[in-house]
Amino acid sequence: MLRTAFSPARGGQGWGEELQLRPIFLREKMGDRMNELSAISNPWPLEKDAFEFYGDPRGNHGAYSAEWAHENLVHVPCPWQIHMGEAPVPFILIHRKCAESLHRVLWKTWDAMGQSQANINKAGFGVFSGSFNYRCIRGATAISMHAFGAAIDWDAPDNPMGFGNLKHRFSDATPLIANFKEEGWRWGGDYHGRHDFMHVEACR
């Protein structure tokens, strides 16, 4: 059974119109096999091997490569309503290699929250703070996992990035975070030094 309705590529986050991104019908494509796939099927790369694993998103003149984006970025709909500020977000733009894992995390979380939007909102999971985001840092050798479409930020206002004893809502016990970690995603709250409690990324 197809549990999610596909949302059209246009609008929302602004990249769709330019790139004509491919939709992904995960539940339809994977069927029941989705549930049989385990977390160990996620061979996330070491951060230093991200270019090899995810391809090179760098284009010319400090922009991302449209060709890379077309080849690699897909849309994953979220089973609950998410929004960025006031704007509803119809899908999560993510690297195709992360899509199935993300889909599992979202549905597991949705089920854990009793498929209740009210519970989701109470937990802060309705606040989406970005996934693919290409920022070119001139001369820098490392780029953010967001530039590969392999990272997501959730509820940024309540889960700040920074040093020291920051106030934050998410913890290891937060279902959304726990489910990402179970799939091998790295949580920014586990960083040493500068914490990034809103952030999850598909690398080691």
Residue placing its CB nearer to Zn ion in the complex, 27 or 199? 199
CB of 146 to Zn ion, least distance (A): 6
Per-residue contact flags (x/-) with Zn ion for residues 22 to 61, judged by CB under 5 A: ----------------------------------------
Residue placing its CB nearer to Zn ion in the complex, 100 or 153? 153
Q: Which of 148, 188, 170, 181 is nearest to 42 (CA)?
A: 181
- Regarding 168 and contact with Zn ion (CB under 5 A), the answer is no
Residue placing its CB nearer to Zn ion in the complex, 153 or 155? 153
Q: Which of residues 91-110 bind Zn ion (CB under 5 A)?
A: none
The two beta strands, 73-76 and 22-23, are parallel
- Residue showing the smallest CB distance to Zn ion in the complex: 199
Q: At what angle do helices 175-182 and 96-112 cross, to 10 degrees?
A: 140
CB of 130 to Zn ion, least distance (A): 7
Q: Which of 133, 136, 134, 146 is nearest to 98 (CA)?
A: 146
- Regarding 153 and contact with Zn ion (CB under 5 A), the answer is yes
CB of 153 to Zn ion, least distance (A): 4
Rg (CA), the chain: 16
Contact 144, 133 (CB under 8 A): yes
- Regarding 199 and contact with Zn ion (CB under 5 A), the answer is yes
Number of residues forming the site for Zn ion (CB under 5 A) = 2
Q: How far is CA 86 from the centre of its chain?
A: 20
List of E strands, 115-160: 151-153
Q: Which of 127, 129, 110 is nearest to 119 (CA)?
A: 110
Residue placing its CB nearer to Zn ion in the complex, 108 or 195? 195
Q: Which residues bind Zn ion (CB under 5 A)?
A: 153, 199
